[in-house]
């Protein structure tokens, strides 16, 4: 359904596994031989989701520091694997994260990506600019907001050059 509101959102899925196959992203872990209905599986899933939340929060923190009080367009990130929405908005000089959002707010810029990309960003294996170039991140919104947000994100996640 995402594919309708955000054209080519499904392409991100393909980009992710291609990146994993080519080594741009770390190889995926083998699917464990678990019954999707079993308690173990669901427990595993919830751990994974929690890890993702933690990473997103970590990214929020870095963004917060990098912005240093600058305003930033509000945006919502959707991870297409678990279909998880998370909103980010800046208020009074800090970046806030709203986990488990039901969706984007009216004027949010929407970023479509997936868990492995978030993990790679958090570990510093890839920058936002590179991710976008590989099709791992797609951004939707008014052209002005998209440009501004992308520029700010790129700057925030540039590798430190000391």
Partner 1 sequence: MRTHSLRRSKLAALPAGALAAAIAGVLALPTSASAQADAGAPDKAKLEKVHPSKPGYSPYAGRTFPTLPLFGDTHLHTSYSLDAGAFGARLTPKDAYRFARGEEITSNTGQPVKLSRPLDFLVVADHSDGMGFFPQLMGGDPEVLATPQGRKWYDQIKGGQGAEAAMDIIASFSGNKMPKGFPTPGTPAYRNAWQETIKAAEAYNEPGRFTAFIGYEWTAGGSSNLHRNVVFRGNGAQAGLVEPFTTLPPLGSGDPVDLWKWMAATEQKTGTEVLAIAHNGNVSNGLMFPVVETFGKKLDRDYVQTRARWEPLYEVTQTKGTGEAHPFLSPNDEFANFELWDKGNLDGTATKAKDMLEFEYARSALKNGLKLEEQLGTNPYKFGMIGSSDAHNGLAALEEDNFFGKTAPQEPSPERMTKAFIDNQKTGVKVMDWEVGASGYAAVWATENTREAIFDAMKRRETYATTGPRMAVRFFGGWDFTPADANNRMPAVIGYAKGVPMGGDLKSAPQGKSPTFLVAALKDAIGANLDRIQVVKGWVDKEGKTQERVYDVAVSGGRKIEADGRAKAPVGNTVDIENATWANSIGAPELITVWKDPQFDARQRAFYYARVIEIPTPRWTAYDAKRFGIKPLPGTTMVLQERAYTAPIWYTP
Partner 2 sequence: MRWLREPLVQFLLIGAVLFVVFDLRGGAAGGGQRIVVTPGQVDAVAAGFRRTWNRPPNEQELKAQLDEYVREEIAVREAVALGLDRDDTVIRRRLRQKFEFAAEDAFEATPPTDAELQAHLDTYPDNFRTEARLSLRQVHLGPQRGHALQDDARQMLERLQAAGPDTDIRTLGDSRLLPASLENTALGEVARIFGDEFAGALLKAEPGRWVGPVRSGYGLHVVIVDGREGGQLPALADVRPLVERDFLAGRRQRALDAMYERLLARYPVVIERRSRATAAPASAAAAEPAR
Contact positions vs partner 2 (CB under 8 A) = 70-71, 144
Backbone dihedral region of 34: left (phi > 0), alpha (psi from -120 to 50 degrees) or beta? beta
Q: Is 147 helix (H, G, I), strand (E, B) or coil?
A: helix
Q: Could you identify the residue written with the tokens 């958090």?
A: 122
Position 142 contacts partner 1 (CB under 8 A): no
Whichever of 52 and 90 has its CB closer to partner 2, that residue is 90
Query: Residue 14: which of partner 2, partner 1, none does it interact with, CB under 5 to 8 A by kind?
Result: partner 1
Helix residue spans in the chain (DSSP H): 2-5, 11-22, 39-67, 115-122, 128-133, 143-156
Query: Residue 36: which of partner 2, partner 1, none does it interact with, CB under 5 to 8 A by kind?
Result: partner 1
The arrangement of strands across the sheet holding 109-113 comes to 94-101, 84-91, 75-79, 109-113, 138-140
Binds partner 1 by CB under 8 A, chosen from 61, 71, 93, 103: 103
Pairwise CA distance, residues 139 & 113, whole Å: 9
Binds partner 1 by CB under 8 A, chosen from 73, 104, 116, 141: 104
Binds partner 1 by CB under 8 A, chosen from 36, 143, 160, 161: 36
Q: How many helices (H) and strands (E) does the chain have?
A: 6, 5
Shortest spacing between CB 80 and partner 2, in angstroms: 24
Shortest spacing between CB 64 and partner 2, in angstroms: 17
Using CB under 8 A as the criterion, which residues of the chain lie in contact with partner 1 when the complex forms?
1-5, 7-8, 10-11, 13-15, 17, 20-21, 28, 30-31, 33, 36-37, 76, 78, 83, 85, 101-104, 110, 135
């Amino acid at each position: 359904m995402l594919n309708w509101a955000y054209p080519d959102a499904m392409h991100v899925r393909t980009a992710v596994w291609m990146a994993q196959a080519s080594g741009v992203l770390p190889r995926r872990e083998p699917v464990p031989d678990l019954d999707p209905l079993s308690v173990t599986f669901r427990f595993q899933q919830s751990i994974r989701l929690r890890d993702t939340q933690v990473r997103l929060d970590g990214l929020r923190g870095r963004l917060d520091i990098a912005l240093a009080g600058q305003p930033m367009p509000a945006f919502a990130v959707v991870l297409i694997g678990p279909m998880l929405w998370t909103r980010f908005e800046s208020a009074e000089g800090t970046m806030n994260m709203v986990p488990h959002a039901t969706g984007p707010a009216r004027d949010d810029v929407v970023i479509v990506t997936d868990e492995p990309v978030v993990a790679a960003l958090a570990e510093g294996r890839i920058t936002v600019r590179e991710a976008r170039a590989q099709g791992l991140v797609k951004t939707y919104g008014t052209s002005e907001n998209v440009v501004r947000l992308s520029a700010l994100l790129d700057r925030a996640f540039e590798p430190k050059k000391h």
